[in-house]
Amino acid sequence: MSDGLVNPGTYFFDFGCGLGADVELLEPLGVKAVGWDPAHRPDTPFRESEVVNLGYVVNVIESNSERVEVLRKAWTLAKRLLVVSARLASEMKDHSFQPYADGCVTKTKTFQKYFEQNELRQWIESSLEAQAVAAAPGIFYIFRDLDWKEVFLASRIRRRPAAERISATMARFTAHRELLTPLIEFLEQRGRLPDASEATAFEPLIAEFVSLKRAFRLVVKVTGAAQWDTAKAERTQDLLVYLALSRFGGRPRRKQLPPILDADVRAFFGTYRKACESADELLFQAGKREALDEAFKTSQVGKRTQSAIYVHRRALTSLPPVLRVFEGCARMLVGEVEGANVVKLHREFPQVSYLGYPEFDSDPHPALAGSLLVHLQTFRVSYRDYSDSTNPPILHRKEEFIMKDDPDYAGFAALTKEEEQLGLYVDTQSIGAAQGWQEMLVRLGVRVVGHRIERVTPQAEPDECGGS
C-alpha cells in the first residue's frame, strides 16, 4: 500500500492467509480482499486478482518441489502483481535448531527454510521465469503487468517536486489560477510540458490560452524560469538513474515503455538510444573507484568521513547521480528497508548500509536501532540489532545528513554550533556512543533539551546539621 500498488478497490487475494488477519485489516480500507488457507480457510475458492500475496508461506514448506508448485499456482492467479515474502537468514537469532532437508526444525517443532536475499530472488526467477523486483528484505514483487512495473521502478527514483508553489502577482494569472494549477503540478512532477497524447486532460486550459506553451509562458512570467529549469534538470537525472538501474532486470525496449516514460525520454533526450547510452555511461562510472571518489568529495549533501558518506533518506535524490546509482544497486537487491532513515555509502568497499534511527527528527542525538549491510559483490546481506544495547552509537551534527532547504536544517545547525562553542566535540572518539556522550555532558555541566543546551545547576551538599 505504501508503494501505491494496493489501493481502495484493488482485488487482492491472500494465498496462504492463515487466520486471515491481513484480509480483515484490508477490507475496512476498501480493498476487495479475500484469503485462502489449507488449514484455516480451505473452502474459500481460488480467485484471480490484480494482486496476489504469498506471504511467509514458502519458508514453511519442507519440499522444494512443493514450494515451486505453490509459487506457480499463486502466479497463475495474479493478473498484475504477485508479492512473495520469506524469512531471511539474517533474521535467524536462535541457533539451537536441528538441520532438516534444506532448512531446520525450530524449538516449536516447525519447519523453517531461511533464505539469503539473493537466493530467494534467484529461486523465484528460476521457478517463474520472470523478474523479481526487491520490495524490501525478504519481500519481492513479480509483475505480470510490465507497464505497471516500469512506472513503479521510475517512481522509486523520482524525487519529490522541488518547485515552490507560486504566489500570483499578475491579474490574468489570478483570474485563471484554477485552470493553471493542473499544468503547474504536471510541470513539477515531470519537468516538461505535456505532449500531444497527454494534452486532452488540459483542453479547458488550451481553449483559454490557445496552447500549453502560451499558458506556460504566463507561469514563467509570474515565477521566473529558474525553478522550471531546475525541475527539468532534476527529472532528467531521475530518468537517467532509472534507466541505469533498469539494466539489472532487463531494460525495457522502447515499445515496452509506458507512454508517460516514453514522453519523458523524447522530451529530455530526443531518442531512447541516446537516453540509454547516457544511462550506460552513468552505470559504468558507478563501478569506477575514481568516479565514486570524486562524487564523494563534491557531493553537496551528506556527512563525510574518511571511509563513508552518510545521508538521510529524504536527501538521497540530491546526491550526485553516480552515488544515486551506487545506492540504487543495493536497493535493487534488498528493496526498501523498513525503519532505515540514514544511508551509509562506503568508500573503501562496494557496500551500502541502511541505518535505523527511530528518533532522528525529535532526538538531538538519536541512537542507532539497527543496521542492514549490503555487499554489492557477494550479494550478502547482514543485520545487526542495537535496540537492546545499553551503549548504542549516536549521531551528532544532524544538519549534515539533510539538505540546507530542509525545514529542520536551521534548528539542527544551531544546536551543533552551540555544542562546538561549549567544547563538546573536542574529543570526538569518546562521544560516538551514548555513554561517552553522557559523560561529556556531565563533565561540562550541561544537558540537551530538545535542540537546545541548558546549564545544569549543581545540587548543594547538605551541612552537618542536615541543612543546605
Same domain, 153 and 281: yes
Q: Kind and range of the H or E element at 268?
A: helix 259-269
Same domain, 137 and 153: no
- Of 285, 315, 334, which residue sits at a domain end? 285
CA distance 461 to 463: 7
Same domain, 252 and 159: yes
Q: What is the pLDDT along the chain (468 residues), one digit of tens a residue?
A: 888 899 889 999 999 999 999 999 999 888 999 999 999 999 999 999 999 999 999 999 999 999 999 999 999 999 999 999 999 988 776 666 778 888 888 777 888 898 999 999 999 999 999 999 999 999 999 999 988 998 888 888 776 654 444 443 457 777 888 889 999 999 999 999 999 889 889 999 999 888 999 999 888 888 888 889 989 999 999 999 999 999 887 888 999 899 999 999 999 999 999 999 999 999 999 989 999 999 999 999 999 999 999 999 999 999 999 999 999 999 999 999 989 999 999 998 999 999 999 999 999 999 999 999 999 989 999 999 999 999 999 999 999 999 998 989 999 999 999 999 999 998 888 899 999 999 999 999 999 988 889 888 765 555 554 443
pLDDT computed for residue 363 by the predictor: 94
The verdict on residue 458 lying in a domain is no
Residue with cell 489501493: 7
The verdict on residue 107 lying in a domain is yes
For residue 79, CA distances in Å to 150, 199, 206, 224, 419 come to 16, 30, 37, 46, 57
Q: Are 92 and 53 in contact (CB under 8 A)?
A: no
Same domain, 228 and 181: yes
pLDDT computed for residue 164 by the predictor: 45
CA distance 142 to 117: 15
CA distance 76 to 110: 28
The verdict on residue 461 lying in a domain is no
Q: Are 321 and 237 in contact (CB under 8 A)?
A: yes
Q: Kind and range of the H or E element at 230?
A: helix 226-245
The verdict on residue 308 lying in a domain is yes
**Beta pairing partners, 214:** none
Buried b (16+ CB within 10 A) or exposed e, 123-145: bbeebbebbbbbbbbbbbbbbbe
SS3 label, residue 143:
strand
The verdict on residue 437 lying in a domain is no
Same domain, 130 and 158: no
- Of 351, 385, 419, which residue sits at a domain end? 385
Domain count, the chain: 3
Same domain, 151 and 278: yes
Q: Which three cell numbers stand for residue 139?
A: 519481500
Q: Are 364 and 451 in contact (CB under 8 A)?
A: yes
Same domain, 16 and 30: yes
Same domain, 38 and 110: yes
What is the torsional sign of CA 394, 396, 400, 403? positive
CA distance 117 to 352: 15
CA distance 34 to 49: 10
Same domain, 312 and 273: no
- Compute the chain's Rg from CA coordinates: 26
Q: Which amino acid is at 236?
A: T
Same domain, 234 and 278: yes
pTM: 0.77
Same domain, 255 and 185: yes
Residue with cell 476487495: 32
Burial of 431 by CB count in 10 Å (0-12 exposed, 13-18 middle, 19+ buried)?
buried
The verdict on residue 80 lying in a domain is yes
CATH number at residue 120: 3.40.50.150
Q: Which amino acid is at 396?
A: H
- Of 144, 176, 194, which residue sits at a domain end? 144
Same domain, 136 and 152: no
The verdict on residue 454 lying in a domain is no
Q: Which three cell numbers stand for residue 351?
A: 557496500
Residue range of the domain that includes 313: 301-385
The verdict on residue 321 lying in a domain is yes
